[in-house]
Structure 1
Amino acid sequence: MGLMSKIVAGTLTAALLVTGGYVWADINDLVPGFLTNAEPIPPALPFPTVTGPDPATSPADPLPILDGKGAPITGDTIATLAAKLAKNKDTLGPSVAVVVSDTFTGDPITAVNADTPIVAASVQKILTGLAAMDVLDPNSRISTTVVQAGNNTLYLVGGGDMMLAANTGDPDAVNGHAGMRNLAEDTAASLKLTGRTTINLYLDDSLFTGSPTGPWADDIPPLGYAAAVHAIGVDVGRQREGTYAPRYADPATHALTTFADHLTELGITVTNTPSRRVLDRDGYAATIDDERVIASVQSATVGEIVDYFLKTSDNTITEVMGRLVAVERGLPGTFDGATTAVIQALTTMGLDTTGVDLVDCSGLGDTSTVTASLINEAINTMAQAPAYRQAVRGMAVAAYDGTLNDRYTNRNGRGLVRAKTGSLPGVTALAGTLLTLDDRTLTFTIIADDLPDGGPWAARQAMDAFVEQLSECGCS
């Protein structure tokens, strides 16, 4: 009992004794004593008779493996299983890569075609995630600012947040963490403090340059698979709610219009037609001094954003993070600059990038190639370094969330597998970590990029079955 509780209890008891109320307190079970008004305690039930086990019906193995079929899989048999999977051409096609390793030691267990360049689809996002966690501070945030340039001229400056909320931000969210309404309210309040209610408004989103869609097909934004990549956007450029909702052709100008509308509602008159203009002659105003910033909002942390795009497989946000890596490394914020920066970052970290050829950072472009060994090594690096481990924890959990929410629902491995999925026409992939029956953590990478006709369903089933067998592994 804490000190205060003892003091209160002692004071109460003393008061009862002084006033002759102890008998009342005893009856009501407030102090120790023999008197009570509670119901009598019933007599105890007789002690049950315990029947011993029948040897004839006792199970031979009280701790069977998860599926109850045969002996646990050992490390020696994983290579056989991987080779069998890779040879399943009827289901996976002729181009398959498989790698399995110990997560925390990095020791290889088996590898099939591990160093052969292969199209990995969205599994490639793992590389961008690791580069972002290394080059950028995982605890840093992306700022969207309003900068004063002259008495009545304001610039909305995009810093790379395409997940702004159209209205008020939600501090518990990643998509929608910072809000346009919040930014407008702070801007209006700052203007009114100096007696200004009429302005000209411009957008500087020159942090990112070049084509906003790069190697992607023209129908990618209308179909909702990704938005054109800009330095600012609302809800990743979606025209309505929904993961694959159509995207605005120009998410940045939509964000500008949204901001201007909020200012108008708050009593600020925008006299010009808001349009793009670079704030400083030398390009994006990366060296804006704080005195010129009259309002700003901040995104979720870089680490949380990496978690988000790995779990949801958001192509646009992956590309945004790739561009931020490029800018941080002194390269252009373009598709080419981002892919170059990601490869450079991985190479600097000591990973083998031989044979890697990226056309984008998300894997949406169908001509990027990586190696399964690099993907596997990247996952191990994330898991082994405390600074990066958040990214592994952020991957989708089997039968629970993200792109694995509907997989492993009836398989061993549900809740034990964390992985990134990948899918393109003719391509399916799965890479991540799992916890085995004997509490060993394994890293696995499986990629097939020349699937036979009939779609990816059968291939995914084969991959999931292989991972299920790994989860049953008695590998120690």
Structure 2
Amino acid sequence: MVRWATRRAPRFTYGVAAAWSAVTVLLGYAVLDVADAAPGVLTLRPLPPPPPTEYVAGRTLPLVPQPSLPVSADVPLPALAGETAAATPAGVDQALAPVLAMSALRDSAVVVRDGQTGAVLLDRGGDELRIPASTTKLLSAAAIGQAFGPDETLRTVVREGDRPDQIVLVAGGDSLLAPGKGDPEAVAGHAGLRDLAGQVAAALARSGNRSVTLYVDETYADGPTTAPTWSPGFRSSGITGAVAMLGLSSQRATGGHPGPADPVAAVRTRFAQQLAALGVDVRVAPRGDAPGTPGSPMPTPGTKAATGTPGASPTTSPTDDAGTTTPTTPTATATATATAQVGGRGSVLGSVESAPVREQLALALTDSDNALTEILARQAAYRSGAATDFAAVGGWVVEQVAALGPSTDGVRLVDASGLSRENRVRADLLADVLVLGYDGSHPVLRSALDGLPIAGLTGTLEQRLTGSDHVAAGRARAKTGTLTGANALAGSVVDDDGRLLVFVGMVAGAGTNDARAALDRLVATVASCGCR
């Protein structure tokens, strides 16, 4: 049985609710062409349907390795070409001259680089600061890759509170929990809430305690759910989900299908129901401070999760902002037998592990998932000791990219997903990050790039680079970016000579359909020109 401890809610007027609903619908319709989701109010021709969402039951995220300098891929991708097949600046300039003369590219920045050597083959306006839209996610991927190890996962834990009849669900950053049983082959839904409930119910049965109060600890990487620079209709129209450190894979926001306004509450409700179904009498405590050490056993600011083996004991981290010593725990898989003490306050009753962060990051790029990108970036910033509001995380991303070597002069981010129109990024910086990703020295970033949408096949490129531009289908992969009046495409392609080339195009002022068509033509030309 589930019982709820309630607090008096503020008085609410249904007339006000109806008015706000009408406003939300209008705002949502006005921004339907944002973030590669759906056509906008001013779009004259329909855009491609929204990309498919990965469901709990299986992996739809393709991880097809792109060839890099030390490693060549099997068929159908050819091995890297030698220097005799390298494109030249003169060849690229000649091939792209007719494309760059298109009216849709009148106000644009275009950069083409050799992906094997990093050589600049074309740079037209690459140093101009422009609205990056969702290509911002490439910078965020580079930053996140510095904070997480290649195989690091996110852990959702239930621990005891100050008393044995108190249990605490600790939000650990996994927003892709399966509502039922987890699927080890999936990215979204890798860890299962039902599995966690089973572990906790078994632990309570062993202790003879069948009546508990359920709390939620939300102190790990806590922050606002939406950014002040986003349109009010972004969340309600499904362009982004709410940014929270707990969530269900079945409730991911997609264009026209918004997720819950409070993902943590949705997880808490489902978890309490599952415990009740297993014979546990559950009283749900009001939101607020949870008993025990705040945030434990998750990493604290300025630290990373320790590495270790299953069942290893937590290690002690530096003191947190409140002056208390908070432990961190290994990120290796934990089971119901993991009953290590947490700060001396009580035992871990159960835990489940997400898919590796690198796979979640690849999924975020494939689906242009704004909330998932923000969730991963916020955790990475938090673990590095940065603040967790949207602007602070955006600033942290810029700092991390600069630490990799590229110049970030003038670059400004106030979010990590690219939904804000206040973001400013240079095309040559996006090209720098892509080249870094393919050089083999940044494994998390490289894995993320392997998950970029593939032209004509997956994600936000499923319906693009087809038709007359089909020559790039299957061998170009790129991150799309769409805000009203600002379109971008940044990625790589293996050309006809087997050479890996990196490209970035950022367009302002053109209609969405015209800008996309011109950018697709640019990529198709690079793929087939030879350019020597």
Same fold (TM over 0.5): yes
Instruction: Measure, in 2, the Cα distance between the counterparts of 1:191 and 1:465.
Output: 61
Match in the other structure for 1:365? 420
What is the count of residue pairs matched by the alignment? Answer: 398
The alignment partner of 1:432 has SS state of strand
Q: Counterpart in 1 of 2:198?
A: 185
Deviation at 1:278, TM superposition (A): 4.0
SS of the residue corresponding to residue 187 of structure 1 reads: helix
Shift of 1:449: 2.6
| Residue aligning to 1:247 | 259
Q: How many angstroms apart in 2 are the aligned matches of 1:274 and 1:259?
A: 15
1:221 paired with 2:280, answer: no
- Secondary structure, counterpart of 2:481 in structure 1: strand
Instruction: Tell me the residue number matched to 1:417.
Output: 476
Compute the TM-score of the two structures, normalised by the length of structure 1: 0.79
Distance 1:412 1:279, change over 3 A: farther
Shift of 1:332: 2.2
- Cα distance, 1:133 vs structure 2: 1.6
Return the alpha-carbon distance in structure 1 between the equivalents of residues 453 and 261 of structure 2. 30
Aligned match of 2:361: 306
Hey, what's the Cα distance between the residues in 2 that align with 1:437 and 1:133? 31
The 3 A distance-change label for structure 1 pair 262 and 207 is same
| Paired AA for residue 221 in structure 1 | R
Q: Which residue of 2 aligns with 1:436?
A: 495
Instruction: Indicate the residue corresponding to 1:448 in structure 2.
Output: 507
Tell me whether 321-330 or 383-392 shows the greater mean CA deviation.
383-392
Asked if residue 175 in structure 1 is aligned to residue 231 in structure 2, the reply is no
Amino acid across the alignment from 1:425:
T
Amino acid of the residue matched to residue 164 of structure 2? N
Aligned to 2:400: 345
Query: SS of the counterpart of 2:154?
Result: strand
Alignment-derived partner of residue 464 in structure 1: 520
Is the contact made by 2:198 and 2:278 (CA closer than 8 Å) also made in structure 1? yes
SS at the partner of 2:195?
helix
Contact 1:121–1:424 at 8 Å: present in 2 too? Answer: yes
Alignment deviations for residues 187-233 of structure 1 (CA, whole Å, 9 cap, x no partner): 11111111111001111112233321012222212111111111111
Distance verdict in 2 for CA 1:393–1:257, change over 3 Å: same
Matched, 1:320 2:375: yes
The alignment status of 1:152 with 2:165, answered yes or no, reads yes
- Alpha-carbon offset, residue 73 of structure 1: 8.5
Q: Is 1:257 equivalent to 2:284 in the alignment?
A: no
Offset of 1:279 from its aligned partner?
4.4
- Point out where structure 2 has 5 or more consecutive residues left out of the alignment: 1-85, 299-325, 329-339, 342-346
Partner of 1:401: 458
State whether structure 2 residue 188 is matched by structure 1 residue 164. no
Match of 2:246 in 1: 232
Distance across 1 between alignment mates of 2:486 and 2:410: 18
Q: CA deviation at 1:244?
A: 4.2
Distance 1:106 1:73 in 2: 12
Report which structure shows greater RCO (CA 8 Å, sep ≥6).
2
Kindly state the Cα deviation for residue 434 of structure 1 after the two structures are TM-superposed.
0.4
1:381 to 436, 440, 446: 436
Distance in 2, Cα, partners of 1:134 & 1:283: 22
User: Given the alignment, which residue of 112, 120, 132 partners 1:108?
Assistant: 120
What letter is aligned with 2:502? Answer: T
Could you tell me how far apart the structure 1 residues matched to 2:124 and 2:258 are? 40
Taking only aligned residues, the RMSD between alpha carbons, in angstroms, comes to 2.1
Structure 2 CA distance for partners of 1:210 and 1:328, relative to 1, 3 Å: closer
Q: Among all aligned residue pairs of Structure 1 and Structure 2, give the percentage whose two residues are the same amino acid.
A: 33
Q: CA deviation at 1:138?
A: 2.2
Aligned with 1:127 (options 100, 122, 139)? 139
